[in-house]
Amino acid sequence: MTFATVAAPAIRLAREGFEVETHLAESLSRNAADLAADPALAADLLHPDGSPYRVGERLRRPALAATLERLSRDGVEAFYRGPLAEEITATVRANGGILTAEDLAAYRVVERRPVVTRYRGLRVAGMPPPSSGGGIIATALEILEGYRLSDLEDDSPTYEHLVAETLKAVFADRARYYGDPDTSPTPLDRLYSHDRAARIRSRFSAVRPLPANAYGSGSPPRDAGTSHVSVIDGAGNAVACTSSINTAFGSKLEVRGVILNNTMDDFSLQPGVPNAYGLVGNETNAVSPSKRPLSSMSPTMVLDDRGVRLTAGGSGGPFIISATLQTILGVLDFDQAADAAVAAARIHHQWLPDVLVVEDRMPESTTRSLERRGHSIRSSAGIAAVQVVERRSSDGATHLVAASDERKGGVAAAY
């Protein structure tokens, strides 16, 4: 499949425009001052008087359409060399950055083998480092497979406590071991081995959380810049694709319709200092030349002997990992349909800070029980956004069921 084929729908959408929905309208309003500071962003995403687009208004992005048309015609190398690349580097350097034309020209896509583990007799494939998502979800599933989760209620205090302690353990791994595998190989086989999962489970207490330092020591915003698409077609082909410019509107700079990312924040800019999402790391993910930063992207596929059973992923910084994990557990352990698994209340723990984030939709009795057990609770209106397509059999027929998270205004589509 060529770039031109993939880009055609995006070109049409950018040129013809789309109606602004609630989530985008709120993000435009919240970031209007920053958008106005960059002339290209202001011209693209604000009205001529500087006011943000409102819900239901049509937003067109002709500059982006023109850039995608050029790449379709001249090939993606036109992004990394030539006038567009020169304009990108000039914009970055004019705003204090150090990107050079040589940096762009030297960039290469690296294809890596997925992280694959087994859970409840199924194969689970996820994104490898430098994304932490695949390895962390694999380790979490190895730990949780030792419990009969289906004997519990999906929003019970015991279930949420087990998931919380599991998340603490695997996010401690994230801080300690994960980075660019070309410079700091991640010991994946050891991290999600059966023996290690059993050792972690043996330390869990059913009645109290362990302190953060029990999972090891190390160098100790609101998401709007990530999107995920899950697809399964009638022939069984599947896609789980996550793309990101990191936080809302990335670096707040735009060149010919392309919003530049601020993904350098995904590095441990200074070991022990939290990034925009409160995540800490050590030298494994420190900045160095030719190195790729750690991410939380978690495109995931679950496969059985008939093919792809489930494709899932999400957006929301480190919350992607916990949200994708809990959605998968909802489908596989609690036999929830895709929409129910996506809509279910979620929790999030990332080791440091030692705080359990609990969605407001969680039953109050569960939240209070978690507090009584010793969890430090912070409430949240929403934890990430997940998109799922599931192959489900009922009444002797097989159906594809899609769900896109209402937390971020997503919609599911079928063709």
Taking all residues of the chain, what is their mean pLDDT, rounded to a whole number? 93
Dist CA 249 CA 199 (whole Å): 42
pLDDT tens for residues 330-388?
999 999 999 999 999 999 999 999 999 999 999 999 999 999 999 999 999 999 999 99
pLDDT tens for residues 102-139?
999 999 999 999 999 999 999 999 999 999 999 999 99
The residues pairing with 334 across neighbouring beta strands, listed in sequence order, are none
201 domain-assigned: yes
47 domain-assigned: yes
What is the domain count for the chain? 2
**pTM for this structure?**
0.93
Q: Are residues 329 and 393 in the same domain?
A: yes
Dist CA 54 CA 19 (whole Å): 9
Q: Are residues 333 and 212 in the same domain?
A: yes
Q: Are residues 67 and 208 in the same domain?
A: no
299 to 3, 221, 224, 279, 376: CA distances (angstroms): 21, 22, 17, 20, 30
Residue located via tokens 């279930």: 159
Q: Choosing from 226, 284, 366, 367, which is the catalytic residue?
A: 226
Q: Are residues 97 and 123 in the same domain?
A: no
List the Cα angle 309/313/317 in 5-degree steps: 160
193 domain-assigned: yes
The 8-class DSSP code of residue 247 comes to S
Q: Look up the domain containing 204 and give its range.
A: 115-220+296-408
Q: Are residues 55 and 146 in the same domain?
A: no
Q: Which amino acid is at 317?
A: G
CATH value at residue 138: 3.60.20.40
Alpha helices by DSSP H, listed for 122-252, are: 133-144, 157-177, 188-191, 194-203
Q: Are residues 98 and 119 in the same domain?
A: no
At residue 290, the pLDDT reads 87
271 domain-assigned: no
At residue 222, the pLDDT reads 45
Q: Are residues 70 and 177 in the same domain?
A: no
At residue 360, the pLDDT reads 97
Residues in the chain with pLDDT values less than 50: 219-222, 415
Query: At which of 62, 81, 106 does a domain end?
Result: 106
Catalytic site includes residue 2:
no
At residue 219, the pLDDT reads 42
Q: Are residues 57 and 196 in the same domain?
A: no
Q: Are residues 309 and 194 in the same domain?
A: yes
